[in-house]
Amino acid sequence: MSVLGWALPFVPAVAGGVLAVCGRRADRFAPGVALLVACVTLGLAIAAAVTRPVVRAPMFEGLPVGMAVDGPSAVMVVTVAGAALAVLVFAAGEPAVGEARARFFGLMLVFVGAMLVTVTATDLALLLMAWEVMGAMSYALIGFWWHEPERVRSANIAFLTTRAGDMGLYVAAGAALAGSGTLTLARLTEGRDPWVDLVAAGVVAAALGKSAQLPFSFWLSRAMAGPSPVSALLHSATMVAAGAYLLLRLEPLLAATGWAAPLVAWVGAATASLLGAVALAQTDLKQLLAASTCAQIGFMVMAAGVGAVAGGTAHLVAHAAVKSLLFLGAGAWLTALGTKDLSELHGAARRHRLVGITFAVGALALAGVPPLSLWITKDTVLTAAAEESTALYVVGLAAAVVAAAYAVKALAAVVRPADAATAFDTEQTGTRRVGPLENAPLPLLAVVAAGFGLVGIPAVWDAWNRLVGGPAEHAPAPVALAVSGGAALAAAYAAARLGPRVPRPSVSADWLHLERAVDLILTRPVLALADALARFDDKVVDGAVRSTATAGRRLAAVVDRGVEVPVDGIVRGIGRGVGHVGDLARRPQTGQVHTYYAQAAVLLMVLAVILLLVR
């Protein structure tokens, strides 16, 4: 049992680490190894979801760490492993002449291993470690084509933005130790005031940053600089989903504070509606899908705020299938046709039929069109929101309407017959074909994207509620489903009629100017402060050190002239005197007898004179 618990995250993590350091020699067989490891990981995930392993290990004195597969994490490990396998199959089929395949697949597997630890960790210490590894892997994968400066800059922005939010987890861990003396997730509510509030604040900041919620959303636009399989994995079941999952899992902590739950609910609702408007204004397919990820994650965050744990988890699973399907479709067209511009993709769905059909299923599910999955799962969240606040429900419903518009805008662009605007190879040279491995995962993902809404059937919903746990939730009422479904169909029809004439306000097209605002409000002042501190260091601190050294040299010079010179002169005079005496003493030493005799006679005469004078 415990072997299974350890093997689940560490099989992909260790295999990925080995592949990543093998170098270019392993490029040829890296895709095969990665697919084998992904298959094994999916098998381990299914076994863990059934057997529910629990593992513990000593790490800090009195604070052991551990992992456990309970109801919510059982759902997540299967979702993560399944999405990872689908994405890796697609990636294995992509032409990648000259690319570092071993490094790519190695990083992807480590990324998956870190996410599996994140969703099964039972304490903040292990969660923090996995959280950090996941952030580092996302940085390496977004900047995978490191020889292109703009992609590296995008990776830096994405990494630094999520790191700013990640600091919240450190605050939460410190506050948890101070307030309750434990890092166990299930006991975070046991701390004293104000420590519980600090724990909740740290968790909320970290989760909103990781899930690209307002005001952190812009980093997800930058993340599009990475390869398409990275986007598919990052947007579906890892990274951005991690923040929403953490909030759903810690829903009791949010509720215990009295302020965190409403805050989270409104941030989620605001993100769902505003980033939906951003998605609607995009002309690049991957940018549209990225903004839609922020918006759809907003529904999950809102679910955590209104206590809809089962509804939010269902939306997370359905969205993982939908978004990986759509990103893989966009990646297939980018590889084959060399563009992801919506106007240039006219006719793409007709040219590559399987990609087009499965993309259509995913887009209609994203639009919330009945009876597809996100129509049901989104309504489970809206039903709970309506019980909490009418205003919150109205904002959520408006966001659902916008979702229908942006999803159908993307679908209409690729379904429309080729016309004068259609153009290929404007971003890269296309291969004009979609390989068997690239096609392989699309039908299965389309089935899940279409059919996961069955979870909303009352009998199935009750079982899902028991599996996920959390507060008891009602299945969406028929009237509510009819309202949201009708609104989605109306918005979809309007978007299809308008096509490219959908208004594109500059503020929405530029992601609400969030990156500029952060640059103006935060980045520039911080850099200016750093520059001022650097000047202070150069002029004041370093200047003082240089002045002290100069004064020391001058004092030494004075000492040298006033004291050392006389003393040294005396010493040198004595030396010279002694030398002269020595010279004089050496002169009589001639070695000749007559000289010594004469010297003795002189000395005798001198002694005689002295005696006469003394007497």
What is the rounded average pLDDT for all residues in the chain? 91
More confident residue, 582 or 609: 582
Instruction: Give yes or no for a contact between 288 and 410, defined as CB atoms under 8 angstroms apart.
Output: yes
Residues in CB range of 336: below 8 A, 6 or more apart: 352, 430, 431, 432, 433, 434
Residue 252 preceded by cis peptide, ω within 30: no
Element holding 335 (H helix, E strand) = helix 309-337
Dihedral sign for Cα atoms in the order 606, 610, 613, 615: negative
- Is the omega angle on the peptide bond into residue 215 within 30 degrees of 0, that is, cis? yes
With 0-12 / 13-18 / 19 or more C-beta atoms within 10 angstroms meaning exposed / middle / buried, residue 4 is middle
Contacts of 242 (CB under 8 A, 6+ apart): 115, 118, 119, 131, 134, 207, 210, 211
DSSP bridge partners of 416: none
**Tokens representing residue 433 in the block:** 């074909």
User: How far apart are alpha carbons 158 and 161 in whole angstroms?
Assistant: 5
The encoded tokens of residue 550 equal 């100069």
Q: Are the C-beta atoms of residues 182 and 176 closer than 8 Å to each other?
A: yes
Give the residue-averaged pLDDT of 407-414: 96
Instruction: Give the per-residue pLDDT at 591.
Output: 64
Going from the C-alpha of 380 to that of each of 208, 314, 453, the distances in angstroms are 22, 9, 10
Structure token digits, residue 91: 């990636």
Tokens 């978007």 found at: 495
The DSSP line for 251-303 is: HHHHHHHSSHHHHHHHHHHHHHHHHHHHHHT--BHHHHHHHHHHHHHHHHHHH
The H or E element containing residue 308 is: none
Question: What percent of the chain stands above pLDDT 90?
Answer: 73
Which residues, listed in sequence order, are joined to residue 284 by a DSSP beta bridge?
341
Q: Which amino acid is located at 140 in the chain?
A: A
Q: What distance in Å separates the CA atoms of residue 50 and residue 77, rounded to the nearest whole number?
A: 11
- For the cut 70, the answer to whether the pLDDT of residue 594 exceeds it is no
pLDDT digits (tens, 9 = 90+) for 207-262: 999 999 999 999 999 999 999 999 999 988 888 999 999 999 999 999 999 999 99
Q: Rounded CA gap, 483 and 479, in Å?
A: 6
Three-state DSSP state, 421: coil
Largest Cα–Cα separation, the chain: 150
Q: Which residues pair with 67 in a beta bridge?
A: 55, 121
Joined tokens for residue 389: 């606040």
Q: Which residues contact 325 (CB under 8 A, 6 or more apart)?
A: 358, 359, 361, 362, 442, 445, 446, 449
Asked if 250 and 184 count as a contact pair (C-beta separation under 8 A), the reply is no
Average pLDDT of the residues in 351-362: 97
pLDDT-wise least confident of 171-185, 294-308, 493-507: 493-507
CA distance 102 to 110: 12
Instruction: Please name which of 56, 74, 68, 51 lies closest in space to residue 1, comparing C-alpha atoms.
Output: 51
Q: What share of the chain is helix, strand, coil (3-state, %, to 5)?
A: 80, 5, 20
Per-residue DSSP letter, 17: H
Q: What is the pLDDT of residues 263-299, one digit of tens each?
A: 999 999 999 999 999 999 999 999 999 999 999 999 9
pLDDT of 548: 83
pLDDT in tens, 40-76: 999 999 999 999 999 998 877 777 889 999 999 999 9
Q: Which of 291-295, 511-515, 562-566 has the lowest mean pLDDT?
A: 562-566
Using omega within 30 degrees of 0 as the cis cutoff, is the peptide bond preceding 371 cis? yes
CA distance 78 to 41: 9
pTM summary value: 0.86
Token pair for residue 180? 């309750």
Residue 586 has pLDDT above 80, yes or no: no
Residue 194: asked if its preceding bond is cis (omega within 30°), the reply is yes
Q: Are 368 and 485 in contact (CB under 8 A)?
A: yes
Q: Are 285 and 231 in contact (CB under 8 A)?
A: no
User: Could you report the per-residue pLDDT of 302-347, keeping only the tens digit for each?
Assistant: 999 999 999 999 999 999 999 999 999 999 999 999 999 999 999 9
- Whether residue 268 contacts residue 298, with contact meaning beta carbons closer than 8 Å, is answered with yes
Whether 527 shows a pLDDT value over 80: the answer reads: yes
Length of the chain: 615
